[in-house]
Structure 1
Amino acid sequence: MRHTARPLTATALAVAFAALAAAPAYGGENTGRLELSPAGVVPGDEVTVRTAACGADGTATGDAGAIGAGSFSLAPGSGQRQLDGRFEVPSSAQPGTYEIVATCADSGRQVIGDLVVSLTGTRTAQPTYPRGSVKTGVGGALGPDPVQTAAGVAALAVAAAGGTWLLHRRARGDGI
């Protein structure tokens, strides 16, 4: 029985030590990851980046160069114990999984998150709508000038009145 107790005690101590070493440093928060929202995007989307790894009043520099977005800053968020940052996925981004890295300014600690880019799906950013006119060749011959528009309406009214008068004369038998 003594021979079995020692290996079990050693195993129990090793498991306890591993559990303590893996415990988070800030009271239960996951501080070792970079949170990306949304985690799945299409080209042109804006990504919000958050981490609590650098402390509430620290700063960090993010690197989205793997996807072609370059570097971005992370600063303390509003009333939360984390840093926030943003970057835009370039329209030239190809489908795949990309590693986004943030480095804490004070400690040099790096935190990593994965961003999945696909070409199918919908953009999460606000849609942009076309502005201006389309040159189709229909309408708009007089332009937006109110004087020209009034002259055109007057010409149409005179033509309609003249046509009505001629039809009325013909119906009475006066001839043209």
Structure 2
Amino acid sequence: MRRTARLLTGSALAVAIAGLASVPAYAADTRSLEVVPATAVPGSEVTVNTAACGADGSAAGDATAVGAGTFTLMPSTHEQDAIGRFRVPPGAQPGTYEIVAKCSGARQTTVTGDLMVSLTALKDPALPRGSVHTGVGGALGPDPVKSAAGVAALAIAAAGGTWLLHRRVRDDRT
């Protein structure tokens, strides 16, 4: 039984190690062009960056697919990326467009990224609005008199509980 368990454990460990070795490292992927925001509306500014050109590399960007023409990516201190900007034309149609950057200098690499154009602006999901309905608190509303009455009731209950516990301890001693 132990031998079978060890064999199965060893086999599972070997499969796990082999699986980890085959996982690509996406965080260090320098062959892509990052497009921010990935979804834009006509007339908005888009920033693109890549680490494929090296620390001091620059690139020629091409956004003619969306109708924005060419732009330049220059070296930046931000994670040693080459960064560039272009504006989505006001007449751009909804769809997904390929943005291309060709590195100059020692690394003559071509990288691509996708830009999705939408006619409606996306609301910022990172900023919550309104109140959270959790069912906790707020039953009395923002009235300060009711809040003070609630605090007083809690204080009386705490004092009464303390007195009862103290009385019980005294009764146990006698």
Counterpart-to-counterpart distance in 2, 1:34 and 1:41: 16
By how many angstroms is 1:54 displaced? 0.4
Counterpart-to-counterpart distance in 1, 2:78 and 2:114: 26
| Contact kept? 2:94, 2:116, Cα under 8 Å | yes
**SS of 2:28 mapped into structure 1:** coil
Unaligned stretches of 5+ in structure 1? 1-14, 125-176
Q: Once the two structures are aligned, what percentage of the paired residues are identical? A: 54
| Contact kept? 2:74, 2:83, Cα under 8 Å | yes
Counterpart-to-counterpart distance in 2, 1:108 and 1:101: 13
With 76-85 and 55-64 compared, the bigger mean Cα shift is at 76-85
CA deviation map 1:53-81 (0-9, x unaligned): 00010110000000110000001113531
4+ residue segments displaced more than 4 Å: none
Distance 1:49-1:79 versus aligned 2 partners, 3 A rule: closer
Distance 1:103-1:114 versus aligned 2 partners, 3 A rule: same
Q: Does 1:37 align with 2:36?
A: yes
By how many angstroms is 1:115 displaced? 0.2
Distance 1:101-1:79 versus aligned 2 partners, 3 A rule: closer
Q: Give the TM-score, by structure 2 length.
A: 0.54
Higher radius of gyration, 1 or 2? 1
Matches within 5 A, 1:56-71: 56-71=55-70
Counterpart-to-counterpart distance in 1, 2:64 and 2:22: 35
By how many angstroms is 1:123 displaced? 9.1
Counterpart-to-counterpart distance in 1, 2:22 and 2:84: 32
CA deviation map 1:86-106 (0-9, x unaligned): 000000100000000000012
Q: Give the TM-score, by structure 1 length.
A: 0.54
Counterpart-to-counterpart distance in 2, 1:45 and 1:102: 20
CA deviation map 1:131-173 (0-9, x unaligned): xxxxxxxxxxxxxxxxxxxxxxxxxxxxxxxxxxxxxxxxxxx
CA deviation map 1:23-46 (0-9, x unaligned): 68xxx5220110010000000000
Cross-structure match for 1:53: 52
Matches within 5 A, 1:128-143: none
